[in-house]
Amino acid sequence: MPEHKVVVQPGPRSYRNCPVSVEVPGLAAGPIEVFDASEDRTFPAQLADGRTHWILDRLGRARARELVVRTTDRPPPENVTVRNSDGDRATVSVRGSLWTEYVYGPGVARPYLHPLVGPFGRPVTRAFPMENVPGETRDHPHHKGCWVAHGDVNGADDWSEGEGHATVAHREFVRLEGGPVFARIAARNDWLDNAGAKVVEEEREYRFHDLPESGRAFDLQVAFRATEGDVRFGDTKEGGIASVRVATTMDVKSEGRIENSFGGINETETWGKRAAWCDYSGPVAGNVVGVTMMDTPGNYRYPTYWHVRDYGLMTANPFGLSHFLRAGDRPGPDGSFVLPKNEELVFRYRIYVHAGDAQAGEVASKYHHYVNPPRIEVIA
């Protein structure tokens, strides 16, 4: 069977359970795997978009690791699955356990993920308003799980679900596939104003990685295309290209904790502040768990500003500068952005759900797994 040697180079940090990929020229389509001869072990691999993907189980700081990428006759395991059911949701499972559902059906104001199942098999997202759970808060019914929204798109309110709100309409799935390393949901959506007129087109892709329950992650890419004309993303704090509402027991108002990449703690030190990542942790059913949103170099206004609240909301919002940079009675600069007709604006994030708080979950290190993955060279 065809084989290609690759070397994973050591760097200034160690890696554990890190999604990686490399372009291997001439690799034929079909089942592939990664082989470690020194340990006589194979790892599932997945060919997608011209690159070979796998989960690097470990890499120390001292030694390079030589591996072999090769085709195989063995059928690949479908470790991460996605199933579209009833025309209103796509269910994602990792090794047989529910990870989340992408909800998009009739009557849904905007597609969202719910629940995000964390370590110990319990959701890290609030169930309201999708479910009625005793003891949960019931404010802001438009905060649904994990979602994409913004409160001023050419003047249309695509954040709230109050009177006259706008909507994001699911048009079609571009990709809906499972695999040995990750599953993909790629959907094309139309952002409509309150009269139903299309304002902007959005293509959204989620990649759900085959990672241990103690620290699962998915990547989110949101691409806006100005198909109808110029699009103005207005300056408002009511928005978040990536947003999550955590379980009520995780709220800072309960027993939770917010922390950002600069060491800011809770709303007073993180709201309206820039940071490469922001983490929200707290107890769920007796165990401390957390969810991190990671911004990416190359995103507009990286590192982004955070609309994050002690009551459980966390969003990455690069547009609300007049609110975030307000000095007393004087608003900050206008943070609006105009996307010219026929151009594209792309955002990329990683959402990491982990056991423990930011320190126990090694969030700072996992952020570098994302933005500074190990260097991989094809040598034969």
DSSP 3-state of 49 = coil
Q: How many CA atoms lie within 13 A of 211 on its CB side?
A: 26
Class in CATH terms, 3-75: mainly beta
In CATH terms, are 3-75 and 80-371 the same topology? no
Reading the block at residue 4, the tokens are: 């290609």
User: Nearest 5°: phi and psi at 366?
Assistant: -65, -30
Residue ranges covered by each domain of the chain: 3-75, 80-371
User: CATH for 80-371?
Assistant: 2.70.98
Reading the block at residue 104, the tokens are: 């998009």
| Per-residue confidence in pLDDT tens, the chain, 380 aa | 678 999 999 999 999 999 999 999 888 777 999 999 999 999 999 999 999 999 999 999 989 999 999 999 999 999 999 999 878 999 999 999 999 999 998 899 999 999 999 999 999 999 999 999 999 999 999 999 999 999 999 999 999 999 999 999 999 999 999 999 999 999 999 999 999 999 999 999 999 999 999 999 999 999 999 999 999 999 999 999 999 999 999 999 999 999 999 999 999 999 999 999 999 999 999 999 999 999 999 999 999 999 999 999 999 999 999 999 999 999 999 999 999 999 999 999 999 999 999 999 999 999 999 999 999 999 97
User: Nearest 5°: phi and psi at 29?
Assistant: -65, 155
CB 230 within 8 A of CB 339: yes
* CA atoms of 300 and 318, how far apart (whole Å): 7
